[in-house]
Structures are given as structure tokens and as C-alpha cells.
Structure 1
Amino acid sequence: MTDARQRLFELLFERSFLYRPEGFRLASGKISPYYLDCKKTTLCAKALPLIGKLMWEEVKKFLPDAVGGLTLGADPLVTAVCFQAGLEGTPLEGFIVRKEAKGHGTQNYIEGAVKEGMKTVILEDVVTTGGSSLKAVTKAKDAGLEVLAVVALVDREEGGFEAIKAQGLQLISLYKIKEFLDRLAG
């Protein structure tokens, strides 16, 4: 594990990984004894440069014009990746997918300066079933964007990889839930 990858893992484990035997209700409706509240890490000054660096390393392999994802989890990820791309002098647009269309003004689902035909990568904090990622994929495609892949911080390994693959896309995650569970047991 690289130094940056290890440091980000430590931050995620210490700040975002929660465990309780009685469980947590997930967005999918399932009950799980562990939960990743990634915003406690992704909104932290120590983590953002690491997130930008590590996610951009994966994203740039696809040569996208833009990165985006479903608000609220993807907001800091999009910012961190665009910032890192900017540091390297690579043009990259960021966008956010609203959960509901804006109720006034443009009434868009997509916020950002993206245009039809742009190649994009969807960013996600945690993938469980893939539902949130695929909602972002659908809205991006509806806006005329070409979605190339999904890049996530953590894959909970509960069907998301398969659901995203079934849509003809790759899911690349920086970490798998097994790494967190191994550390917990460790």
C-alpha cells in the first residue's frame, strides 16, 4: 500500500468506519453491523489532498472531460479530483447530479459546465448495491454525457460491482470493505 493510500485508509478507518452489533440501516434498506460515514473524512482538510491524488490516478486512465456524481457524497470527491487535475494542468470539468431536478431556474438535474458528448467518470464515496452510482450514470447519460466508468472510495462488496458491470461499466474502488473488517478484527 502506498503511503498516500495508507494515510487515507487510516483516516477513513478512524473517522468514518463505524461498527455496532445491532446494526445500521443502509440506503439499500439492508441492516449491517458496519457503516461508512465517509463525509466525516471527505470533508476533512487532511483527507482532501489524498482523495484528489488517489482518485485522480484512477480517473485519468479514462481520459475524461469531466467527473461528477450524486450529491451529497460525491460533492467533495468531485472538488478534490478537479483540484488535483488542475494542479497537473489537465482540463477537467466537475458536475453534481441532484437527487431531484432544481425547482426553479434551469430545473436541471446536472449542475456544472458540462456539455453533451463529454466523456465522464462518475465518482462515489461508498458503493453497496450500486443504486446511487447507477442513478448518477442514468442522469449523466440523460444529459448526453458518455459515461466511461465509476470510481469509488470504498466497495462494500454487496453487489454494486456486478450491477455496474451489468450496465457495461467498470467499477474501480480504492478500498474494499474487507480491508476495514480485517483491520477491525486485527
Structure 2
Amino acid sequence: MPGSEKSKQLLTDALKACGAVRFGDFTLASGKKSTYYIDIKKASTDPATLRIIAQEATKIITGMQVDAVGGVVLGSVPLATAVSLESGLPLLLIRKDDKSYGTGGRFVGELRAGSKVLLLEDVTTSGGSVKDAIEAIRAQSGEVQHVVTVVDRESGATENLASIGVKLIPLVRASDLV
């Protein structure tokens, strides 16, 4: 399902060129230590790289039955917004927690019962962050069957998401970058 080798190489080159791939000693959100870090914020703030990400993700979702594209606040917001613009699909943003003021709630955008939401993720390691968003969407009678991640670190996210009936589709894998 992911794009062609040429598309993957184009994205890999763009991620490296914008400084998204860094080497050193890092602690990841999962708590694991790593000798490299994928800083997708560098990619999502670079218009050329963000455009490539949006185009590649849109190629993947074309033909899928999807009612909205979603992203977890904050890291996935630019990605989901770019894919929404590229694909023409409505945008759904998922907060980590309910907002207790204003109109409140956990979602920005409309989530109807039965809506099929495709989630965008910047980097997946274990899949824990996006799993919380999937549970929140499902709790409101929405459906999630696919997550498109820019980079899969190949550290269990595919298996963890599969265990809840969700397919992880990476645009590139860490092994393509390092």
C-alpha cells in the first residue's frame, strides 16, 4: 500500500535535507534511549517537505473509505491539516485531554457516529500516543482502521496497533533513514 520506491526516496531525501534526522543520544517519548532522533517538526515546518508528506499520504488514502483525517494535538496537527488540504477531506483534531473551558471537549472538528477517521502520526515507536486517540474516537462511536505515520521506528507500533484492529502504514521506516 505505501508509495513507490521513488516516492519513498523523495521523502527520505527531503527528511534528511530539512534536518529532521539527527544523531546523538536521545530519550524518546516512550522513555526508550536512541542514538538517532526523527524531528518531524523540522519537516512539518518546511513547506516543501510538508507538501511531499501530504501528497504521499493522500496517495495512500485515495480509494479508502475515509470520512475525515485526524491528528493528535500538537505534533500531528500540521500533518493532518496538510493532508486535509491535499485530499479535500474534513479535519479532526484530537486533544490529549478534554478541554474544560469554552465549548469544551476533546475534539476540534466534527466526529459523527460511524465516521471513518484516518489518523496521521509523525513518528511511531510503540504506538502508545495514537492508541489513546483511537480509543477516544471509538468511545464516541467513530471508527479508525488505519494510521499513516511519516516514520515508523520499527519498535512495536505495527504489532500494538494490529492488536486493536488498526493497520499502521508508514511512509518511510527508520531503517530507510539511518
State the alpha-carbon separation in 1 of the partners of residues 103 and 161 from structure 2: 30
Paired position in structure 2 for 1:16 = 20
1:114 aligns with 2:111: yes
Structure 2 equivalent of residue 35 of structure 1:
37
Deviation per CA, 1:70-116: give whole Å up to 9, x if none: 11121011111111113xxxxx2111111121120222111112322
Is 1:171–2:174 an aligned residue pair?
no
1:141 maps to what in 2? 138
Q: In 2, are the aligned partners of 1:38 and 1:125 still within 8 Å (CA)?
A: yes
Contact (CA 8 Å) 1:110, 1:139: kept in 2 or not?
Answer: no
Answer with 149-158 or 96-105: which moved more. 96-105
Per-residue displacement from partner, 1:133-172 (whole Å, max 9, x unpaired)?
A: 1011111112221112111111100011100011111110
Question: Contact 1:70/1:97 (CA < 8 Å) preserved in 2?
Answer: yes
Structure 2 residue identity aligned to 1:71: V
Question: Larger RCO: Structure 1 or Structure 2 (Cα < 8 Å, ≥ 6 residues apart)?
Answer: 2
In the other structure, the counterpart of 2:10 is 7
Pick the aligned partner of 1:130 from 116, 127, 152.
127
* Gaps in structure 2 of 5+ consecutive residues: none
1:75 aligns with 2:72: no
Counterpart residue type for residue 84 of structure 1:
E
| CA displacement at 1:7 relative to structure 2 | 2.8
Give the Cα separation in 2 of the matches to 1:61 and 1:18.
Answer: 35
Write the distance in 1 (CA, Å) between the matches of 2:137 and 2:63: 20
TM-score (norm 1): 0.88
Report what 2:153 is aligned to: 156
- The structural deviation recorded for 1:61 is 3.6
Does residue 1:48 correspond to 2:50, yes or no?
yes
Aligned residues: 173
Give the Cα separation in 2 of the matches to 1:61 and 1:164.
Answer: 22
Q: Confirm or deny: 8 A CA contact 2:145 2:165 kept in the other structure.
A: no
Q: Which sits farther off after the overlay, 108-117 or 168-177?
A: 108-117
Contact 1:62 1:148 in 2 (8 A): no
Letter aligned with residue 141 of structure 1: R
Runs ≥4 in structure 1, deviation > 4 angstroms? none
